[in-house]
Chain A
Amino acid sequence: MFEVDLLIVGAGPAGLCAALEAGQEGLSVLLVDENAKPGGQLFKQIHKFFGSEMHKAGTRGFRIGENLVREIAECPNITLWLNSVVFSAIDQNHFEVVHNCSVQVINTKKVIVATGAIEKGLVFPGWTLPGVMGAGALQTMININRVRPGNKLLMVGSGNVGLIVSYQFLQAGGESVILVEAANRIGGYGVHASKIRRYGTNIITGCSVESVSGNGKVESAILAKVDDKFQTIKGTQWEEKVDIVAIAAGLYPLMELLRQLGCEFTMCPPLGGWVPVHDERMETSLNGIFIAGDVSGAEEASTAMEEGRLAAWSVTYDLAKCTKNKYESVRIDITKRLEALRSGPYGIARKNAKDSIYAIAKNFSKLR
């Protein structure tokens, strides 16, 4: 049986940063990811990152990932298993993994779950037609596989994901984009919106897709105005010829492991819906089960990396591999950086949401 101090599930930005930090502090770390390459969502991000200097804003996402991966390779305490999926938690210390086509059980003292988030689906007549896909899937096709599955894109949802993937579609030679958003304002950052507007993209707020049709694949979409309860306003429908429809209706935490273990959850719409309750140290309602990144509430790579570091330090301290003073000073630094990332008109809602989750966690922290 493979025995380690710390198992990290998911090698996205959160898991990579957590592994590096814990590995450098002397913990034996096993980092597992189901993909052939580490980096999680980062590797799809060919754009320059938003955020501050400190958080590598201006660096392209996949470069950030490459640097982390190099550092991890240099750290002898970290074992990285790729193409390996964690498929079950037997209990809080034993996890089943498929590695090299065989099953292994990992016996670990602590766990950081950094499994990211997945896209929310949207259901309308025609959503199962070829040509309708998640925005993330479209991004993978364009940026990783270098294929552009169509020319005329209907993007549904104007969060950062919708805006960025629309832009990347246009950069990849796409002819046109229509972007609809059910709310009455654009969800993502202004910079991204103006970039695609410069390409002539029409961003229509207060509008949604009613149905999609075509002969064996997407050929056209019926759009309609919606009211503030997102109900169709009768008589406002119109048709647009498109050959690809991407859904960017938000992300929600991928919590399979935490659900199986029986963690507590709370409903928190600003972070994607149901999220695992966790405290400021990133520990869940279960002793020794930590989380970091989008799985703790869908945010950004920059917050994911900081949460990964924070969780790693909490584990390091709990395993008595660093002093209380050291831990406290690191924790305060990271917390400050996280607060900086969660400021401004877009960040503040996430900060408030996080604070409300920490408040719930206070109740069970005392019980432990």
Chain B
Amino acid sequence: MHENNTDNNDVIICRCEEISKEEIINAIRNGADTVTLVKKYTRAGMGLCKGKTCSIVIQRLIAEYSSKSPDQIPFDIEREPFRPIKISVMGNYEDENALVDHEICLKRK
């Protein structure tokens, strides 16, 4: 919807990693013109919520501070797990219920 345009550059955009608007704008000015690169430059979106809140705002900022239009700014690549999964849960499985053929794993790109 609306990005209000008062400067307020110290406002936090990524709550999980505590990344400010200013840090994100700097990254964009240094060439980070995708959500993926903003993440890799600043850590915004690297936290527990995986950018569920801040991705949209970062897309808006990229549109505002780079030459890209919104339809050129997709989301970051999604890597599993989509939701935080405890290590003890990830490690709790029975081979026959949870492991797939090695061939299937090799095909994943």
Contacts and interface: CB of A to CB of B under 8 A. Distances in A.
Contacts of B57: 121-123
A196 B39 CA distance: 41
Interface string A96-117: 1010011111000000000000
Interface string B93-109: 11011111000110110
27 contacts: A1-B96, A1-B100, A2-B97, A85-B82, A85-B83, A85-B85, A90-B104, A94-B100, A96-B81, A98-B85, A103-B97, A104-B98, A105-B99, A120-B56, A121-B53, A123-B3, A123-B57, A211-B8, A224-B4, A230-B4, A231-B5, A232-B6, A252-B56, A265-B74, A266-B71, A267-B70, A267-B71
A48 interface: no
B29 interface: no
Interface string B63-98: 000000011001101111111010001101110111
B54 to A, nearest CB: 7
Contacts of A267: 70-71
Contacts of B1: 120, 122, 157, 182, 230, 249-250
Given A98-B85, A98-B89, A124 B4 contact: yes
Interface of A: 1-2, 34, 85-91, 94, 96, 98, 101-105, 118, 120-125, 127-128, 157, 182, 208-211, 224, 226, 230-232, 249-250, 252, 255-257, 259-260, 265-267, 273-274
B38 to A, nearest CB: 14
Nearest to B79: A260
Nearest to B61: A123
Contacts of A34: 83
A259 B2 contact: no
B43 interface: no
B56 A273 contact: yes
B62 interface: no
Given A87-B83, A94-B100, A232-B5, A123 B108 contact: no
Contacts of B12: 123, 127-128
Interface of B: 1-6, 8, 11-13, 15, 21, 52-54, 56-57, 70-71, 74-75, 77-83, 85, 89-90, 92-94, 96-100, 104-105, 107-108
B108 to A, nearest CB: 7
A123 B75 contact: no
Nearest to B76: A259
A273 B85 CA distance: 28
A105 B101 CA distance: 12
A222 to B, nearest CB: 10
A87 B52 contact: no
A257 B82 contact: yes
B75 A274 contact: yes
A85 B83 CA distance: 8
B4 A104 contact: no
Nearest to B53: A121
Contacts of A98: 85, 89
Contacts of B78: 256-257, 259-260
Nearest to B72: A267
B6 A210 contact: yes
A209 B6 CA distance: 11
B93 A102 contact: yes
A224 B6 CA distance: 11
A105 B97 contact: yes
